[in-house]
Amino acid sequence: MVNEQSEQLDAVFHALADPTRRAMLRNLAREPHSVSDLAAPFAMSLVAASKHIRVLERAGLVRRQITGRTHICHLDARPMHGGLEWMRHYEQYWHRSLDDLETLLRAEDAAAQKPAGSDRK
């Protein structure tokens, strides 16, 4: 099960790593599109667009509905949840690190604002 989840997460991040595929997902978030509609903004062939769409399908981010010769693509954003959960785990790390940095900077500011000779008794 863990290996299957890891493979799914790898596929999602691989799909999202490409700016063309991210743009396709943005378009699909508005409404379903045919393969040719998805290809049009990029001046790419239908073959090239289909390769990108297959990557998105393998990641589970796109479902394709075939009616005759027309392939309509629909967004399925559910697999992105796994990537979001993975990033949230590391978000906690960054929050702790930034909190520690803030503490150090405040201590430096406080030390710099002490009048000279104030540490003498």
Query: Would the pLDDT of 119 be above 50?
Result: yes
pLDDT tens across 51-104, in order?
999 999 999 999 999 999 999 999 999 999 988 888 888 888 787 878 778 888
Spatial contact of 70 and 34, defined as CB atoms under 8 Å apart: yes
Which domains are seen in the chain, by residue range?
2-75 (1.10.10.10)
Give helix 19-30 / helix 46-58 axis angle, nearest 10°: 80
Per-residue pLDDT at 1 = 47
pTM: 0.72
Region 94-117 average pLDDT = 81
pLDDT at 65: 95
Rounded to the nearest integer, the mean pLDDT of the chain is 88
Sign of the Cα pseudo-torsion (34, 38, 39, 41, in order) = positive
